[in-house]
């Protein structure tokens, strides 16, 4: 299954991605073409292949077959560091933060690494310009009041925001968010997504997010990829996908009784 992009070189393309873990096929002929500045969501039950797709695009896993193109450049064989440097960043279902550092220091680390030059032994990490920039980022995500706290002192929502804020320090062109609202209190989900989407839109970042909450999917994405059993079974606008009988049967579980029998 593929999507076309009439506006020029897609931000991200995958062609025939295949990935198996022993007898389990986690990705089967995954072909997508994501245009610049698009906001797409990836839905599917657990084990459908969403995170495998994210892991392949971000270099954590290498596909058994197929290719991944970022702005026309083949990045199939690159690892996470090179993919990040190229302009594709990600956040994690379980936020990957530096637990021994404070919130501010986590962002300072991200800024130091985002610098085109390698982190210097002689350049202060906490110089005022870097701290100001870090505080700007924390304010953008409205977590500046937590700057002196360690990870163990933070709520799930703040951890999610910090995880995404750190990924944003590298000014990505494409961002993949793995379940940005999982584990977050229900009343925090929309405020968190509002903040995140606003920040991503402000920098024209092409966004793909994995999500189980269909209210969030319909509100924030302009296209949905529905995964089932390592395949994309639907690829269209949110309303179309959510009304697709196959999606209702295999993903959302909202199919009428006779359709599911």
Write the interaction track for another protein spanning residues 166-205; mark x where CB under 8 A is met and - where it is not. Answer: xx-xx-----------------------------------
Regarding 93 and contact with another protein (CB under 8 A), the answer is: no
In terms of Cα–Cα distance, which of 177, 206, 180, 211 is closest to 90?
177
Q: Within 13 Å and on the Cβ side, how many CA atoms surround 216?
A: 26
Regarding 101 and contact with another protein (CB under 8 A), the answer is: yes
Among left, alpha and beta (phi > 0; psi -120 to 50; other), residue 171 is left
- The nearest distance, CB 112 to another protein, in angstroms, is 4
Q: Tell me which residues in 27-56 interact with another protein (CB under 8 A).
A: none
Regarding 96 and contact with another protein (CB under 8 A), the answer is: yes
Q: Which is nearer to another protein, 147 or 212 (CB)?
A: 147
Exactly one of 84, 181, 206, 221 binds another protein (CB under 8 A); that residue is 84
239 CB burial (10 A radius; 0-12, 13-18, 19+):
exposed
The SS3 call for residue 136 is helix
Q: Which is nearer to another protein, 141 or 250 (CB)?
A: 141
State how far the Cα of 26 lies from the Cα of 51, in Å rounded to an integer. Answer: 9
Residues 6+ apart with CB under 8 A from 90: 54, 58, 167, 175, 176, 177, 178
Residue appearing with tokens 């968190």: 192
Q: Tell me which residues in 113-172 interact with another protein (CB under 8 A).
A: 113-115, 118-126, 147-148, 166-167, 169-170
Regarding 80 and contact with another protein (CB under 8 A), the answer is: yes
187 CB burial (10 A radius; 0-12, 13-18, 19+):
exposed
Exactly one of 26, 109, 177, 247 binds another protein (CB under 8 A); that residue is 109
- The nearest distance, CB 173 to another protein, in angstroms, is 13
Footprint of another protein on this chain (CB under 8 A)? 58, 79-81, 84-85, 89-90, 96-106, 108-110, 112-115, 118-126, 147-148, 166-167, 169-170
């Amino acid at each position: 299954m593929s999507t076309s992009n009439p506006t020029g070189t897609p931000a991200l393309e995958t062609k025939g991605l295949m990935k198996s873990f022993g007898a389990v096929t986690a990705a089967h002929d995954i072909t997508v073409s994501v245009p610049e500045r698009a906001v797409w969501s990836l839905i599917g039950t657990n084990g459908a292949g969403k995170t495998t797709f994210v892991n392949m695009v971000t270099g954590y896993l290498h596909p058994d077959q197929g290719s991944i193109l970022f702005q026309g450049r083949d990045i199939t064989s690159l690892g996470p560091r090179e993919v990040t440097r190229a302009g594709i960043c990600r956040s994690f279902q379980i936020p990957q933060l530096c637990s021994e550092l404070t919130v501010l220091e986590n962002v300072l680390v991200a800024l130091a690494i985002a610098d085109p030059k390698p982190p210097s032994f002689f350049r202060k990490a906490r110089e005022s310009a870097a701290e100001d920039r870090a505080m700007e980022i924390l304010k953008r995500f409205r977590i500046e009041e937590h700057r002196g706290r360690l990870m163990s002192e933070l709520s799930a929502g703040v951890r999610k925001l910090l995880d995404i804020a750190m990924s944003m320090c590298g000014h990505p062109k494409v961002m993949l968010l793995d379940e940005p609202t999982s584990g977050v209190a229900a009343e925090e989900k929309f405020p968190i997504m509002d903040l995140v989407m606003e920040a991503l839109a402000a920098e024209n970042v092409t966004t793909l997010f994995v999500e189980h909450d269909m209210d969030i999917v319909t509100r924030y994405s302009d296209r949905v990829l529905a995964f089932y059993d390592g395949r994309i079974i639907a690829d269209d606008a949110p309303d179309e996908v959510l009304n697709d009988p196959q999606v209702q049967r295999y993903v959302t579980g909202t199919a009428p009784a006779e359709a599911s029998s």
